[in-house]
Amino acid sequence: MKWFLALAFCVFGSAVFAQDKAPAKVKGKEVPAAKQPPERPAPTHADVTYGKDSERQKFDFWQAKSDKPTPVVLLIHGGGWMNGDKTSYGNRPIKTLLDAGISVAAINYRFIPQAMEQKVEPPVKACVEDAARALQTIRARATEWNIDPSRIGATGGSAGACTSLWLALHDDLADPKSEDPIARQSSRLQFAAVTGAQTSLDAQQLRVWISNSIYGGHAFGFATKGRSRADEFDLLIENREKVLPWIKEYSPIELVSKDDPMLFLEYPNQKTEPVFGGKEPDPTHSAIYGIEFAKRCEEIGVDCRVSYPGKQDPEFQNSIDFLVKKLRN
């Protein structure tokens, strides 16, 4: 199993943000090739609808073979809440999890532009609450799909990682009195293990952590055509007091409490030794996010592991290894 999980890390970790083919040539010039979805097992249930507002509110589900109810891992793709698709997940990690007796769901969700068109405030609310609704839908089918609703974890890269943490840390969205049976289901996770996670969406805090931070303004509605991420970030700083309640609601580090599950955060693409307050090669996926987040978790009493080149976790090789070991216990 160890070599298999290590191989899964090589494939999964390198494909967190995009999966591209080699560039093609048009009239002698190289142009980016279209992204092609990787090979993957056929879903047991494809394009399961969990919402009415968008074609994006669908997920694919793979049922693991088992005589007993199985754990489930939710795969939440990255792409800055602006692009990406559930089909970006291939044989690994899907087959790795299935071979371990863990069922899998890969979800789509509304993007920031769609949320802004629909007047969702802040726009990131649509992205993360869609993920919660997908999770509740899966729990509602526990008997039908042979699922153990008390053993559900999530993973994802970048924005998908931030969403996974939000699910793990946010108060339960279940409404026991709702007439909707799905809304009565829990939105809480038992574990989250993520790659390249943004743990804060507070621009002021991020500029202290990482001097060249530019990510987060679009989450709160500062995106528009032609505006750069840096410009969005500056607007978030300028308007911080106005949107502070939103920051408190959607920034993972603000949500940590004693009842939260064990977490695993990996930053496999960290190129240099992370330095607090310094300039990072990739400020949007820097291990500083994980290091500072782990300090907050330690203060509260939440078990949070952070792994990056030069400081690997001694117990878990990667996110998938973590989820397999924890969900099978």
Q: Count CB neighbours of 229 within 10 A.
A: 17
pLDDT score for 34: 57
> Would the pTM of this model clear 0.85, i.e. be above it?
yes
Q: Are 169 and 140 in contact (CB under 8 A)?
A: no
* Tokens (6 digits) for 75: 């795969």
Could you report the average pLDDT of every consecutive run of 10 residues in the chain (329 residues)? 43 42 41 72 97 88 97 98 96 96 98 96 98 98 98 98 98 97 98 98 98 98 95 98 98 98 98 97 98 98 98 97 95
Quote the CA–CA distance of 220 and 73 in Å, as a whole number: 28
Domain regions of the chain by residue span = 2-9+38-327
Quote the CA–CA distance of 314 and 136 in Å, as a whole number: 33
pLDDT score for 23: 40
Amino acid (1-letter code) at residue 12: F
Quote the CA–CA distance of 130 and 189 in Å, as a whole number: 15
What is the second-level CATH architecture of the domain 2-9+38-327?
3-Layer(aba) Sandwich (3.40)
pLDDT score for 322: 98
Region for 314 from its dihedrals, namely left if φ exceeds 0, alpha if ψ lies in -120 to 50, beta otherwise: alpha
Tell me the sheet residues that pair with 75.
106, 155
pLDDT score for 80: 97
Quote the CA–CA distance of 101 and 25 in Å, as a whole number: 43
Amino acid (1-letter code) at residue 293: F
pLDDT score for 329: 79
HEC profile for the chain?
Answer: CHHHHHHHHHHHHHCCCCCCCCCEEECCEEECCCCCCCCCCCCCEEEEECCCCCCCCEEEEECCCCCCCEEEEEEECCCCCCCCCHHHCEHHHHHHHHHCCCEEEEECCCCHHHHHHCCCCCCHHHHHHHHHHHHHHHHHCCCCCCEEEEEEEEEEECHHHHHHHHHHHCCCCCCCCCCCCCCCCCCCCCEEEEECCCCCCCHHHHHHHCCCCCCCHHHHCCCCCCCCHHHHHHHHHHCHHHHHHHHHHHCHHHHCCCCCCCEEEECCCCCCCCCCCCCCCCHHHCHHHHHHHHHHHHHHCCCEEEEECCECCCCCCCHHHHHHHHHCC
Quote the CA–CA distance of 277 and 9 in Å, as a whole number: 29
Q: Are 114 and 54 in contact (CB under 8 A)?
A: yes
pLDDT score for 55: 80
